[in-house]
Chains A and B, each alone.
Chain A
Amino acid sequence: GAVVSQHPSWVICKSGTSVKIECRSLDFQATTMFWYRQFPKQSLMLMATSNEGSKATYEQGVEKDKFLINHASLTLSTLTVTSAHPEDSSFYICSAKGQGYSNQPQHFGDGTRLSIL
């Protein structure tokens, strides 16, 4: 089945630093990738939609200058949390959607747990 790899799986860093998270589709080409955030005991919330070769579309309330998204190839999207602060600590999850039929499901990575001290 479709495999999406996310790296790193866990990161701790100091307040004020920037953190980059990678999302790769390993066995299919992903024209669209999605980034979600999940706080403890809550459901996933979509942050942004990333289409290969174009600017990401951010959901209302998500700061585009804070969460930089790059989708430079059909197999890789990156999320950079800039100048991270403790309130950015969360579980960040990416998903990828392949080419072909429009009803193709999204496949998710295993998430990145980000802790800002």
Chain B
Amino acid sequence: AQSVAQPEDQVNVAEGNPLTVKCTYSVSGNPYLFWYVQYPNRGLQFLLKYITGDNLVKGSYGFEAEFNKSQTSFHLKKPSALVSDSALYFCAVRDIRNFNKFYFGSGTKLNVKP
């Protein structure tokens, strides 16, 4: 079965510091991984995806994610956090046997303090 786990319900960082939001996955075969961000009272917005190739994927708003096959992880990172980055972040995997389905993690709330 395809699944993702986000071990942290909440991450707190100070503005200007680097941030990491963790995600681990469990899939059969090669993973198709995604990160989304959700602001209050809004739908999810796509940040970046990993399909194949470079392990470091760059996305929107200065975010990047590092794919690590041996650790089955796909952590979201940003070198310097902004207060406006405060939001709910979701990791997701697309079922490679059934492209119709995405499986989402439980979400991590990122708080960036001034």
- Tell whether A and B belong to one assembly: no
